[in-house]
Amino acid sequence: MEVAISLGSNLGNRVSLLKEARDRLASLSSPGSSLTQAPIYQSAPVDCKDDSPDFFNTVVIIEYEGTPEDLLQSCKQIEKDFGRLLDSRTGERHAPRPIDLDILYFGEERLDTPDLEIPHPRMLKRLFVLKPLSDIRPYHTLPGDIVIIDDHLKHLDSGEPPLTLIQASW
């Protein structure tokens, strides 16, 4: 199953943390499959406190054989291992964090549970998600949608400042 996961970091050595998280996600991939990664962009924090540091954001695509719930648990464990506070998911939203992982889509699955919504419910409203996803899957159509990712990006009116390219290859 092709799965897209967004990665973000706004604490610590952001590029190193994104690389380490990417490698952890690659270890979850189906044996023999490859990982596709978008460039890393810097973005202003969205819906965060005024003094929050800028984020570095990217998207990776892996092939995954488990369930969406299994992948969610693995992502939460990676976040915890990188120092994200256990209660940050239920406590203060959008607090600064070393790593943030969000499942964007999971093949053609559609899921809406208290713990997980797939496709990600806010991904089409966020420049810092759409731009890196468009870099690697511009013609992808999400389950239940008829518009390709690149067109969503072209028509996005999020009010976010432009992204800054940090690293094309990493």
- pLDDT (tens digit per residue) in 19-63: 999 999 999 998 999 999 999 999 998 877 778 899 999 999 999
Stretch among 45-54, 63-72, 132-141 having the lowest mean pLDDT: 45-54
Q: What distances in angstroms separate CA 69 from CA 14, 130, 137, 142, one per listed residue?
A: 27, 23, 23, 19
Kindly report the CATH number assigned to the domain that includes residue 69. 3.30.70.560
The one catalytic residue in 14, 22, 97, 137 is 97
The one catalytic residue in 14, 100, 126, 135 is 100
Rounded distance, CA 153 to CA 52, Å?
25
Structural domain for 96, as ranges: 2-167
Known active-site residue 102: yes
The one catalytic residue in 14, 22, 102, 126 is 102
Known active-site residue 135: no
Residue reference for tokens 């990664």? 37
Domain count for the chain, please give it: 1
The pLDDT score that the predictor gives to residue 88 is: 43
The one catalytic residue in 22, 24, 47, 84 is 84
Known active-site residue 151: no
pLDDT at 75 over 50: yes
Known active-site residue 93: no
Rounded distance, CA 52 to CA 73, Å?
27
Task: Output the CA torsion 122→124→128→130 (10° steps).
Answer: 150
> Rounded to two decimals, what is the model's pTM?
0.94
